[in-house]
Structure 1
Amino acid sequence: MTSDVIIIGGGIIGLCCAYYLQQSGCRVIVLEKEQIGSGCSHGNAGLITPSHFVPLASPGTIGKGLRWLLDPESPFYLRPRMDRELWRWLWRFLQASNVRLMRRNMPVLLRLALASRRLYGELIPAENIACHFQENGMLLVYSGPEGRESCREMMDYAQVLGLPAEWVNSGELSSMEAGYAFRASGAVYFPRDAHLSPADFMAGLARRLTARGVEIHPDTAVQELEVSGGKVVRVRTAKGGFSGNTVVLAAGAWSPLLLKSLGIRLPLQPAKGYSITRPLDHPPPRIPLILEEAKVAVTPMGDVIRLAGTLELSGWELSIRPRRVRAIIESTAAYVKGFPLQEWGKLPAWSGLRPCSPDGLPFIGPFSTPSNLI
């Protein structure tokens, strides 16, 4: 099968690329190894966060990471193993975790996040996608002195970068968001953030693309990129070959595995995250939370609410570690009164792998060779 553009990966990046390419008049094919939106794009926290402008590679992460890395219940966990690519990645991560690079990368991440926020705000109403999209901001909540210091630092950085942020004391929290009974000490409010239900957004966007002639092929794992004359001439799958003038690699955490056969080393690690979703039996909160010390997101999505968290470097595997799920649930109780621990503990957990670069910046742009691979 032949097309103008072949997109490898049917997650949020792949489908959004397909949307804008189709809008510009391109014939597009999307290849997805599982079902559309079934990977990291399915069960994540659903946050659209200009407030996430500080890269993971920062001096603060190093200080906390040394305490966390080998603790299986911590927000940032490394499963020890002999993996040369992992240790190369860690070395580059350590090199990037300094103030100079952090300050260089923060405005880059902020510009990308603000552009993303604007595009979601245009695309969703234009296509009438029902995905519980809300533009209510986000509360970065802290419970103790260390969290307060981190939140104050975030607010200071935001002010330098020109991103609106407001300090909220404990007395103001409940009046600002009555949907939670707060135990937290205070928060920073980021009014430019938004949130949605990622699975609903993906399903709605996929339907629009199919109706407009984009060919979406689920359960079509790419086996090899065949290269000739410095270009990808064929994308081989178990269901046959696909050819296109341009190939867009949007396979997320699996991208390095596809590039390895071409001799291309992409310094990217799969970072496992977990989420648990529970139906609501009362009116939903308006504003999502990020629990600063616990690194847990609490996101209302229509008639459900989702807890999401952890960054686990354990390779390309999706096994769910009950201790880590339990840590997410139990840590939430330190911020929210009356949190029903037993009810949450009975619910099934989801896991997904997000791509994680050493310096926190995304890989965007064409390869020198193959020259038609982006």
Structure 2
Amino acid sequence: MSKKVIVIGGGVIGLCSAYYLQKEGCQVTIVDQSNLDAGASYVNAGYLSPSHIIPLSAPGVMKKGLKWMFNSSSPLYIKPRLEQDFLKWVWAFNKSCSPTNVAKAIPAIKSMTLLSQELYEDIRRNENFSFHYENKGLLILCQTEKVLEEELKTAEIAKAEGLDAKAISLETLKHIEPNVKMNIKGATYYECDSHSTPHEFMEDMKAHLAAVGVQFYKNEKVQDLEVSKGKVISISTDKQVLNADEFVLAAGSWSYLLSKKLGLNLLLQAGKGYRINTTQSTGITVPAILAEAKIAVTPMNGFTRFAGTMEIAGINHTINKVRVEAIADAASQYYPEITLNSEEKDNAASGLRPVSPDGLPYIGKSSKCENLTIATGHAMMGWSMATATGKLISEIIADKTTSIPVTHFNPDRRF
């Protein structure tokens, strides 16, 4: 297949799409409005998490969101806005917070994350990439009996799905993490999970793509798409006009702005997450989720990352100090011997994650445009699903049978 393909977006989803499209023999160009060195693909927790089988839109989440709306340090903060797109998204999100949605999402999320894990390992081996990648599992640390009970139920669901999940005693936890003091009531452990250092994978992938002839246009904003008879003919950036046979929309939280130009009803909101890195010796060797605080902790290559929070407040890059402080406070509450210092907090960074209303990504073609393939809406699962998404995008464009079913990811689905 020798098609000319333009990938709009150079985050992890865009790079993985370009990787597999190039393998299919396509001539690939990546266009991104940034310098390809910041954003959600660089500040995430680096998890490859089959454990995260429950979607963001689960029963009770909207109720919590409403309760937290007036607390800007809460784990999920939805800033009220009188914007039509936002209100449509809130309506659809609320409707999706149901047991039916969870039951539909679990097998779809599981198949995506397991495939992705396998593909990350394949890429590392086949391309001799050196990015940090480890299979050490994931701990869920709970400070209250109520949340521990909830997490035990989730672990049972995961176990029933064939994932390696279990409750562990505090004694067992000491053997897994002997060098760190924890202030918790109990924990669950997912041995099925892996973790990585995101910027290392991104650097390896960018270098590889450049070496195999993928063209990069950095710091170029796509401003318009020329459409004729249900096909994209070209895209206009602030610098040039580019033509191709096929187009991939992988622009993260910005995707819905471009999709509107095509008349697509792509419900999407930007969910801002934050990270604090520390080079202090924390003693942490296994990734963990601080359950009540919804903070992810990852021992990366040379540093430990504390990341989290979901702030639905539109597209902006403002660092909310209250939310940074909430992450630092949670670190000390769960790990009493760890204190993140002011310099580390001052160096906090944020990234915008594209959030769909039902917690599932948009992957595939819309009936409104035959040569545009959409790859966005992964929320907090972008890193966990990136390689599988890239593979699926290449299979869709090559008109092949997809590695896993993509029905639940249909961009035209209704909420």
Give the TM-score band, short-chain normalised.
over 0.9
Query: 1:346 offset after TM fit, Å?
Result: 4.4
Specify whether residues 329 and 22 from structure 1 end up closer, same or farther in structure 2 by C-alpha distance, changes over 3 A only. same
| Mapping for residues 207-226 of structure 1, pairs under 5 Å | 207-226=207-226
> Does 2:48 match 1:48?
yes
Query: Contact (CA 8 Å) 1:274, 1:352: kept in 2 or not?
Result: yes
Query: 1:80 offset after TM fit, Å?
Result: 2.1
For residue 163 of structure 2, give the secondary structure of its aligned residue in structure 1. coil
What amino acid does structure 1 have at the position aligned with 2:139? L
Q: Tell me the alpha carbon deviations over residues 311-355 of structure 1, each in whole angstroms, 9 at most, x when there is no partner.
A: 001001110110111011101222112111445764411011001
Instruction: State how far apart, in whole Å, the 1-side matches of 2:153 and 2:174 are.
Output: 23
What amino acid does structure 2 have at the position aligned with 1:306? R
Query: 1:259 offset after TM fit, Å?
Result: 1.4
Query: Contact (CA 8 Å) 1:278, 1:344: kept in 2 or not?
Result: no
Q: Tell me the alpha carbon deviations over residues 132-162 of structure 1, each in whole angstroms, 9 at most, x when there is no partner.
A: 1111111111111122112111111112211
Aligned position for 1:153: 153
Instruction: State how far apart, in whole Å, the 2-side matches of 1:148 and 1:344 are.
Output: 33
Aligned position for 1:80: 80
For residue 102 of structure 2, give the secondary structure of its aligned residue in structure 1. helix
Instruction: State how far apart, in whole Å, the 2-side matches of 1:147 and 1:201 are.
Output: 34
Instruction: State how far apart, in whole Å, the 2-side matches of 1:17 and 1:67 are.
Output: 39
Query: 1:265 offset after TM fit, Å?
Result: 2.4
Aligned position for 1:66: 66
Query: 1:125 offset after TM fit, Å?
Result: 2.3
What amino acid does structure 1 have at the position aligned with 2:291? E
> Does 2:333 match 1:334?
yes
Aligned position for 1:288: 287
Aligned position for 1:201: 201
Specify whether residues 204 and 170 from structure 1 end up closer, same or farther in structure 2 by C-alpha distance, changes over 3 A only. same
Query: Contact (CA 8 Å) 2:22, 2:214: kept in 1 or not?
Result: yes
> Does 2:39 match 1:39?
yes
What amino acid does structure 2 have at the position aligned with 1:82? L
Query: Contact (CA 8 Å) 1:253, 1:269: kept in 2 or not?
Result: yes
Aligned position for 2:183: 183
Instruction: State how far apart, in whole Å, the 1-side matches of 2:95 and 2:47 are.
Output: 28
Specify whether residues 192 and 37 from structure 1 end up closer, same or farther in structure 2 by C-alpha distance, changes over 3 A only. farther
Instruction: State how far apart, in whole Å, the 2-side matches of 1:310 and 1:184 are.
Output: 20
Of 98-107 and 172-181, the range deviating more from structure 2? 172-181
Instruction: State how far apart, in whole Å, the 2-side matches of 1:179 and 1:3 are.
Output: 53
Instruction: State how far apart, in whole Å, the 1-side matches of 2:252 and 2:145 are.
Output: 36
What amino acid does structure 2 have at the position aligned with 1:96? S
Instruction: State how far apart, in whole Å, the 2-side matches of 1:345 and 1:198 are.
Output: 19
**Count of aligned pairs:** 372
What amino acid does structure 2 have at the position aligned with 1:333? S
| Mapping for residues 343-354 of structure 1, pairs under 5 Å | 346-354=345-353
Query: 1:66 offset after TM fit, Å?
Result: 3.0
What amino acid does structure 1 have at the position aligned with 2:359? G
Instruction: State how far apart, in whole Å, the 2-side matches of 1:359 and 1:200 are.
Output: 31
Query: Contact (CA 8 Å) 2:253, 2:269: kept in 1 or not?
Result: yes
Query: Contact (CA 8 Å) 2:156, 2:166: kept in 1 or not?
Result: no
Q: Tell me the alpha carbon deviations over residues 178-217 of structure 1, each in whole angstroms, 9 at most, x when there is no partner.
A: 2422112221111111111111110110000100011111
Q: Tell me the alpha carbon deviations over residues 201-240 of structure 1, each in whole angstroms, 9 at most, x when there is no partner.
A: 1011000010001111111111111111221111111221
What amino acid does structure 2 have at the position aligned with 1:330? D
Aligned position for 2:7: 7
TM-score (norm: length of structure 1): 0.96
Instruction: State how far apart, in whole Å, the 2-side matches of 1:181 and 1:73 are.
Output: 25
What amino acid does structure 2 have at the position aligned with 1:300? P
Q: Percent identity?
A: 38
What amino acid does structure 2 have at the position aligned with 1:106? I
Aligned position for 2:130: 130
Query: Contact (CA 8 Å) 1:320, 1:350: kept in 2 or not?
Result: yes
Instruction: State how far apart, in whole Å, the 1-side matches of 2:81 and 2:100 are.
Output: 31
Aligned position for 1:306: 305
> Does 2:68 match 1:99?
no
Instruction: State how far apart, in whole Å, the 1-side matches of 2:370 and 2:206 are.
Output: 28
> Does 2:261 match 1:261?
yes
Query: Contact (CA 8 Å) 1:138, 1:190: kept in 2 or not?
Result: yes
Instruction: State how far apart, in whole Å, the 2-side matches of 1:172 and 1:185 are.
Output: 13
Instruction: State how far apart, in whole Å, the 2-side matches of 1:65 and 1:170 are.
Output: 31
What amino acid does structure 1 have at the position aligned with 2:364? G
What amino acid does structure 1 have at the position aligned with 2:81? R
Query: Contact (CA 8 Å) 1:142, 1:184: kept in 2 or not?
Result: yes
> Does 2:342 match 1:363?
no
User: Gaps (5+ residues) in structure 1?
Assistant: none
Query: 1:93 offset after TM fit, Å?
Result: 0.8
Instruction: State how far apart, in whole Å, the 2-side matches of 1:344 and 1:77 are.
Output: 25
Instruction: State how far apart, in whole Å, the 2-side matches of 1:243 and 1:102 are.
Output: 40
Instruction: State how far apart, in whole Å, the 1-side matches of 2:63 and 2:264 are.
Output: 32
What amino acid does structure 1 have at the position aligned with 2:192? R
Query: 1:309 offset after TM fit, Å?
Result: 0.7
Specify whether residues 345 and 36 from structure 1 end up closer, same or farther in structure 2 by C-alpha distance, changes over 3 A only. closer
| Mapping for residues 162-177 of structure 1, pairs under 5 Å | 162-177=162-177
